Amino acid sequence: MFNLAGILCLCLLWHQTPAPSGTPGPLDHNRVIAEFAAPEPDWLPGHRGLDLAADLGDTVITPRAGWVVHAGAVAGTGVVVIRHGRLRATYQSVAPSVRTGQYVGAGSVLGEVSRAGERNSSAHCTPGCIHWGLKDGEQYLDPRILIDALSDVALVPQEHR
């Protein structure tokens, strides 16, 4: 009984609205060209997100519902940041079609893939990708948890364990 109560508490604490069926991530094809590689310790160099292959003008969506906390340029590059409860997802090299303070549902369009700013063009994936990052407080996470977390949870009767 304690395990069931614990699972239910975790589900309530982690309540997120998943994307509609067929919405696997921020792009309709989601081909990873650079993997998430969090450094240990966290101040060392690493890759704190995923780079996804994209064409200029591709539509970028959010796989989970949340609030837009930033939609605009950072160092000359279009960036959209969505807060999903404690988590913050970042989409870089995006021309936003949303505004700060707006609520977006799972599968909502955030904007389209744009060219990174000239200052960043040699430093990151330009012209054909978006950088998708995720943070919980100050800790970087693999953003795929936004599409994987709790998607396959099922309660198994005691007699089948």
pLDDT in tens, 79-104: 999 999 999 999 999 999 999 999 99
Confidence label for 124 from pLDDT (cuts 50, 70 and 90): low
pLDDT in tens, 101-115: 999 999 999 999 987
Cis peptide before 127 (omega within 30 of 0): yes
DSSP 8-state symbol, 55 = -
Q: What is the pLDDT of residue 146?
A: 79
Q: What is the pLDDT of residue 120?
A: 43
Q: What is the pLDDT of residue 148?
A: 65
Instruction: List the one residue out of 135, 138, 18, 46 whose CA is nearest residue 82.
Output: 135
Structural domains of the chain, ranges and CATH numbers in brackets: 2-160 (2.70.70.10)
- 17: CB partners within 8 A, 6+ apart: 64, 65, 105, 106
20 vs 99, residue with greater confidence: 99
63 vs 48, residue with greater confidence: 63
Rounded-to-integer distance, Cα 63 and Cα 139, Å: 20
Mean pLDDT of the 117-143 span: 72
94 close to 138: Cβ distance less than 8 angstroms: no
Q: What is the pLDDT of residue 106?
A: 92
Does 14 have pLDDT greater than 50? Answer: no
